Chains A and B, each alone.
Chain A
Amino acid sequence: MSEPKIIGFLCNWCSYRGADGAGMARLKYPPNMKIVRVPCSGRVSPELVLRTFREGADGVMVLGCHIGDCHYSTGNHRTAKRMPVLKKLLEYSGIEPERLYVNWVSAAEGEKFAKVIKDFTEQIRALPPFVETMK
């Protein structure tokens, strides 16, 4: 069985620092996720997520700052509003909404970061490869 491919869009100010923290603390997490650093989770448009799936990702993670902690004050409000709608759209189109994961990870939450990556990778491992389902 092939390993699932996961793309993670990480906000530069919180979640990316959280990933650094997890590394610094020598926490173990699966290597499936490839990180794309974005200035803000609000940068991640639905188009970007859809294209990532089209390019063959099995799962997409969008991690940002907690609501109220955004470096750009309300950037992650966009994420909070649009990602649930995108999840619904995926569901109505017959794509498992579990393939898209959104959460808030702050710079201090290295442990949470390692945990969400681990849980999400397990979740995606249970699903068939995305490219197969699209054939």
Chain B
Amino acid sequence: MSDRLTSLRETIEKILPDVDGVVALRTGPGGIVAPYLFTKEHPEELAKLALWPKEPVPDTLKIILHAHPDAKLAIVCRGCEERGIVEMFKHAQFSLDNVTLIGLQCEQSEVESCQCFKPFTVHAKLTVGQPVEGVRDPMMAKILAMSQPEKLAFWKEEFSHCIKCYGCRNICPQCFCNVCALEDETWVETGRLPMPNPSMYHMIRAMHMTAKCVGCHECEETCPSDIPMAVHFRLIARDVKEMFNYEPGASMEQKPPQLLVLEEGDYVRTGLPH
């Protein structure tokens, strides 16, 4: 890990004079790792550069770019974060004209802790570290092997732990709507815990993550009840790939299926009569 840290520091030092700032992780006061904007005015901060645990840097980039749309920035991103940034860019959250992506390839140990399927960057010009293969998510196979009543019992049990803190929505780099359906009492009942079945909150969130979820696992990381909700998103992502030939974050150009009419996409394996 130290090798990667040194070469990342060198990469940032090299790019720092040409940009207004570099977004990366820093060990702050109290040993807490958080996103930080490294600038040429304070190069000494680079001594505190950190790699792990990962934090949602796409959101940090968005906050900075909203406040300073003309800022010339670089951002250190892992595979999942890069996909998050690409999807946010495609949904017009910010422009990437003045942004340089520095890809940080994950190590085997990190891949296993995240169960990541694609732990490497594909768009970043500058990269640090050697790409490793992704792993297959055991949760997906577990759900698929269950019978319908088993699935129902499993999710009833898991969702009964939900305290509706909205943490999964708040942390999600793809949840950026100004008006959120989950705050609408028409759809999500307030004042009842555990939530009645079927859980409107989680079902609606799963639907809204269609063709958007980049598999960064931030929602599961942040969940105080350890609900494995992202398995829903990944299962649907598999179907979206099959039906619409779309993989979130894989391409800068390909439009998401939500924005296209049927003739424009290479669809129609959706199993509907036509």
Contact = CB atoms under 8 A, between A and B. Distances in A.
B186 A96 contact: no
A94 B232 contact: no
Given A46-B207, A50-B203, A51-B187, A67 B274 contact: yes
Interface string B144-161: 001011111111100000
Given A92-B151, A94-B155, A50 B198 contact: yes
A108 interface: no
Contacts of A134: 196-198
Contacts of A67: 262, 274
B240 interface: yes
Contact of B152 (A46, A54, A85, A94): A94
Nearest to B273: A103
Given A51-B187, A85-B236, A94 B206 contact: no
A29 interface: no
A67 B262 CA distance: 9
Nearest to A89: B206
B200 A51 contact: yes
A118 interface: no
B270 A84 contact: yes
B200 A83 contact: no
B239 interface: yes
Interface in B222-265: 232, 235-236, 239-240, 243-244, 257-258, 261-262
Contacts of A91: 148
B210 interface: yes
B141 interface: no
Contact of A102 (B197, B232, B272): B272
A2 interface: no
B39 to A, nearest CB: 44
Contacts of A104: 273-274
Contacts of A50: 187, 198, 200, 203-204, 207
A66 B273 CA distance: 9
Contact of A93 (B181, B198, B262): B198
B244 A66 contact: no
A80 B265 CA distance: 12
Given A46-B207, A47-B181, A93-B152, A81 B270 contact: yes
A104 B156 CA distance: 33
Nearest to A86: B207
B262 A92 contact: no
B193 to A, nearest CB: 16
B239 A94 contact: no
A54 B150 contact: no
A84 B262 CA distance: 13
Contacts of A28: none
Contacts of B153: 94
Interface string A100-135: 001110000000000000000000000000000110
Interface in A59-106: 66-67, 74, 77, 80-89, 91-96, 102-104
Given A51-B200, A85-B210, A92-B232, 17 more contacts: A47-B204, A50-B203, A51-B187, A54-B200, A77-B261, A80-B262, A83-B272, A84-B271, A85-B240, A87-B271, A88-B236, A89-B206, A94-B148, A94-B150, A94-B156, A95-B198, A96-B148
Interface of B: 143, 146, 148-156, 181, 186-187, 196-198, 200, 203-204, 206-207, 210, 232, 235-236, 239-240, 243-244, 257-258, 261-262, 267, 270-274
Which 10 A-B residue pairs are closest in the complex by CB-CB distance?
A94-B152, A94-B151, A84-B270, A46-B207, A134-B197, A74-B261, A47-B187, A77-B261, A77-B262, A88-B239
